[in-house]
Structure 1
């Protein structure tokens, strides 16, 4: 026991000497700090959206559950109620997480404008307008024009970040060079102010619309989908272990840079995983050997889901920082039901090297161990379609119909908690130092 404690203490010292200074430099860089602080603004929206999503998607499948006891009767009643009121229940999620990129571009541009001591409100509205020019182009229908909000969700976060930063940089450059429409001194400031914003607005609009059209000409897809267009050939792979380890690693890397990693890979992997799940279910019903190890949500439940819950555990039971503790309590309901946006934007895990390193290590380790445990018969293969909002340990059990899968999941969770321990303690210390400096 003493040797383990000594190891963690030595590792903690290495972290504080080597990694924490790098993390501090990253967090203090103007643009990265604006990104971090801009995403922090999203916390209340993600919490509200996550809770609404959890209520609207109860963890129950009416085709497999029977009202044999009070608890199952409650779940069935909840599911029926959520189905009847789905339109109303979906409003908070559709207008928070569903259009999260709008809040991202506003938050990031606002924070960066503040660091330059620019008029923050006018500049963040400029950034929002420019973002809508490439991500929310109105579509003509028979009874009017509509904006498809699917282009404003988490899949467009990276584009929102780029627009938010670049627009403010262009506006700042124009201010430094005094390039603006000047009104006579006799014109009141309230009247002259909007005209000063007009030129930066027009320049940014033309620049991004032109860039968007050029990218469409080259790739067939616009600026918002550029990252997916570039990386989709790399993601196209089979469901073998090496390809899955590559894909889950890429997912973690995407999340680190503010790109919705799951959305990035799902267009390629979902048909493969769904097909594998259907084949497994048919084999299970026929009493035959189940063919596929990786199926359904295997890589998430035995991958990033464990990492997020390990982070949540540390926020509630290890970290002493008041901000992390408060967010940890708020994030419990949504995180338990696999809705992790409050952690992604609240901690945040975006551009946070102290959560990225253990997340990458643990995700690769988790998927590899779960794959090996399944391959060698230590737990059953995924063969059941289970609601994605079911808490991850229960999901592991019900999707495989094997209690050993839950034990494998719990073992991986304990390992993840240990791996995250020095990183989260270092992050806790970094936040305390930053808060002390801000008070001074």
Structure 2
């Protein structure tokens, strides 16, 4: 134990000497700082959206669960009630996480405007308007106009981030160059502020609409799908271990930059994973050998699901910073049901090198070990479709129908917690330093 403690102390010292200064420089860079602080504004919205989704999607499969005891009866009643009231229950989800890019562009542009000491509200509304011009174009349906809110969700977060930062940069440049409509002296700032952004609003609107159309002509899809268009050829791979490791690492990289990693890769991976799951289920029903190791939500349950819960554990039991511990307690209900947005935007893990490095290490270890354990027959292959909101250890068991899957999952969780400890301790200290500096 003494040697292990010495190792951790040395490792943490290296972290504080080498990694923390880099993380601090990243945190203080004006664009990245605005991105981080802007995403922090999303915390209450992601929490209420996650709770809404959790209530509306109880972890129950009515074809499998039967009312054989009081608990199962309660769960079935909950499922039936949630199904009947799904439209009402999911309103908070659809208007928070469902259109999260709206809050992203508002939050980042607001923080960036504050950095430049510009009128924050008119400038952030300018960024929102420009974003809607490319992501929320009204469609004519049955003599009416409607906005497809799917274009305002997590898949458009990259465009929201870029537009928020560039619009404020352009507005700032035009204002300092006096390319604006100036009101006479004596006009209150609350009246003059909106007129200052009028000309920049026109310029940004034209610029981004033209840019969106140019990208569409070149790639076949607009600015909101640009990242997916670029990376989709790289993601199109078979369900082998090397390709899966590449995909899960790429997912973590997307999340690091505030882009919904799961959404970015799901269009390619979902058909593969779903097809593999169907083939496995058919083989199971026929009493044949199950063919595919990676199927269904295998890479998530034995990957990011463990990573996020390891972060949550460290926040609640290792970290001492009051903000991190408070957020850790707040995120417990949603994280237990695999809804991790409060951690992503609350910690945040976005542009946080002290969570990014261990996340990459852990997800490679997790998927590789889970793949190997399945390959050698230590645990069964995934063959059951299970509600995605089921707590991850239970999901691992029910999807494989093998208690050893829980053993593998818990073992990986312990490894992840240990790997994260020195990083989270360093982040804990960094948070204390930043809070003390802000109070001075």
What does 1:26-425 correspond to in 2, within 5 Å?
A: 26-185=26-185, 192-425=192-425
Partners in 2 of 1:323 and 1:22 — Cα distance? 22
Q: Distance in 2 between matches of 1:35 and 1:173?
A: 19
Q: Which residue of 2 aligns with 1:433?
A: 433
Deviations along 1:341-361, whole A, 9 cap, x unmatched?
000000000100000000000
- Residues 43-91 of structure 1: CA deviation (Å, up to 9, x unaligned): 0000000000000000010011111111111110000000000000010
Change (3 A) 1:188 1:420: closer
Q: Give the whole-Å Cα distance in 2 for the aligned partners of 1:356 and 1:208.
A: 31
Cα separation, 2, equivalents of 1:189 and 1:294: 59
1:193 deviation in Å?
Answer: 3.9
Structure 1 Cα separation of the partners of residues 334 and 400 of structure 2: 23
CA contact (8 A) 2:122 2:193 kept: no
Aligned length: 440
Counterpart CA distance in 2 for 1:70 and 1:181 is 69
Deviations 1:270-310 (A, max 9, x none): 00100100111111111111010000000000001000000
Provide Cα deviations, 1:166-220, integer angstroms capped at 9, x if missing partner: 0110011011111112344586766544332210100010110010000001011
State the match for 2:3 in structure 1: 3
* Structure 2 residue runs without a partner (length 5+): none
State the distance in 2 between where 1:155 and 1:30 align.
Answer: 25
Q: 1:123 Cα deviation (Å)?
A: 0.3
SS at match of 2:197: helix
Secondary structure, counterpart of 1:67 in structure 2: coil
Deviation at 1:141, TM superposition (A): 0.5
Q: Do the aligned partners of residues 353 and 192 (structure 1) sit closer, same or farther apart at CA in structure 2, a change above 3 Å counting?
A: closer
SS of 1:302's partner is helix
Tell me, in whole angstroms, the C-alpha distance in 2 between the residues paired with 1:233 and 1:15. 36
Deviations 1:247-267 (A, max 9, x none): 001100111111111001100
Q: Secondary structure at the match of 1:224?
A: helix
CA distance in 2, matches of 1:22, 1:117: 26
CA distance in 2, matches of 1:261, 1:108: 19
Over 3 Å counting, the alpha-carbon distance change for 1:331 and 1:278 in structure 2 is: same
Summarize the Cα distance change of 1:236–1:171 in structure 2 as closer, same or farther, 3 Å threshold. Answer: same
Does the 8 Å contact 2:232/2:268 carry over to 1? Answer: yes
Matches of 2:262 and 2:61, distance apart in 1: 23
Identify the residue that residue 20 of structure 1 maps to in structure 2: 20
Unaligned stretches of 5+ residues in structure 1 = none
What secondary structure does 2:140 align onto? Answer: strand
SS in 1 for 2:145: strand
- Which 4+ residue blocks in structure 1 deviate beyond 6 angstroms? none
For 1:398 and 1:144, how far apart are their aligned partners in 2?
46
Task: Specify the SS of the correspondent of 2:200.
Answer: helix
Local SS of the residue matching 2:373: helix
TM-score scaled by length of structure 2: 0.99
**Shift in alpha-carbon separation, 1:6–1:184, aligned structure 2, 3 A:** closer
CA distance in 2, matches of 1:189, 1:411: 60
Q: 1:9 Cα shift?
A: 0.5
Is 2:109–2:165's contact at 8 Å kept on the other side of the alignment? yes
